[in-house]
Amino acid sequence: MPPYGDLAIDPIDYLLSVEAIRQVKARYCRFIDTKQWDRLGSLFTADCRFEGLGSAPAGADVATFVQGVSSRLAATISVHHVHTHEVVRTGSDAARVIWAMEDFVEWTDGSTVKETPGSRGFFGYGHYEEEYRRENGEWKISFLRLTRLRIDPVPIEAPPPRMGQRQATPGWLDIQEPQ
C-alpha cells in the first residue's frame, strides 16, 4: 500500500509534501539550536498541541511551548538531529510523521539536569511523533510528541564545552530583495 493509503493523492503532490514537511522539521531543529525563539512559533498551526517535552506540560499551546523551551534552553548548548522519517498522508492536507531523533543538551551555567540527576546535560535518543497540516499551501506542525528510548548523562566532570570555530548565521537562508 502506498504511503497515502487509499486516499486519492497524486504521487507528485505526495513527494512535494514530504519535502516541504522535511524543510519544516529542519527549521524546527535549527531554530531551537540557534535560539531563534521569535521564528520557532511560525512552524506550528495555531491549535498545535505538545506532549512529552520537559519544556512544556502535556497539551500546551504554541505560546506555552515556545516560552517553555526558550526558558529551559537559554543557558544551554543544544544539538538536535532528526532522520529516517516515515511520512503517511492521512488526508489531502494532513500527514503523520515519525522521525528518529537524537539530541545533545548541555547546561553552561552550572545547572544540573532533572532527566539525569547529578549531570550537566544529556544525550537523548528516541522519536518525534507528529501530525502536520497544510494551511494556505504551507505545511505546519499540528501535533508534536517526543518519545525517548534512552537518555545518557553528560557527567559534571566531563571536559568543559568548547564552541565551534564558526557560529551559525541565523538568517543565512533568508532571501533578500535585490537593492
pLDDT in tens, the chain (179 residues): 467 666 788 889 999 999 999 999 999 999 999 999 999 999 999 999 999 998 888 889 999 999 999 999 999 999 999 999 999 999 999 999 999 999 999 998 887 777 888 899 999 999 999 999 999 999 999 999 999 999 999 998 888 777 776 777 878 888 766 55
| Position 93 in a domain | yes
Is 77 among the domain residues? yes
Tell me whether residue 78 is in a domain: yes
User: Does a structural domain hold residue 67?
Assistant: yes
Can you give the pTM of this predicted structure? Answer: 0.90
Give the structural domain span for 141: 11-155
Q: 165 lies in a domain?
A: no
> 2 lies in a domain?
no
Which letter does DSSP use for residue 136 in this model?
A: T
- Helix, strand, or coil here: 23? helix
**Domain assignment of residue 27, yes or no:** yes
**Which three-class secondary structure state does DSSP give residue 128?**
strand
| Cα distance between residue 78 and residue 29, in whole Å | 10
CATH number at residue 101: 3.10.450.50
What's the number of domains the chain is made of?
Answer: 1
Residue closest to 77 by CA, chosen among 139, 159, 14, 144: 159
CA distances from 22 to 16, 19, 168 (A): 10, 5, 20
| Assigned domain for 163 exists | no
